[in-house]
Amino acid sequence: MSQSALHAHFKSVTLMSPLQYQKQLRLQEARRLILTRSADAAGAGHAVGYDSPSQFSREYRRLFGAPPMRDGERLRAEGAWAG
């Protein structure tokens, strides 16, 4: 299968590009680290492969609607995380 065919098939199944999918997985893992290990935003971002804390925070906010630490505090306060 060619790279372009794989990319098209991947997008038809996931509704996102492989790069978008990878980014979403990394951000979800960072969210899990913040919630379960009380990691700080910079540490969680670095653990999932971000070199820039500001880039991590920007992309996290774009996906989850709030900055990393505020999102973690909100989820813990709501009891939405049963990790």
Q: Which residue has the tokens 């906010």?
A: 61
pLDDT on residue 30 = 97
Question: Is it true that domain 20-78 has CATH number 2.102.10.10?
Answer: no
Pull the structure tokens for residue 54: 């500001």
**Extents of the domains making up the chain:** 20-78
Q: How far apart are CA 61 and CA 48, in angstroms?
A: 16
pLDDT in tens, the chain (83 residues): 899 999 999 999 999 999 999 999 999 999 999 998 888 999 999 999 999 999 999 999 999 999 999 999 998 888 866 55
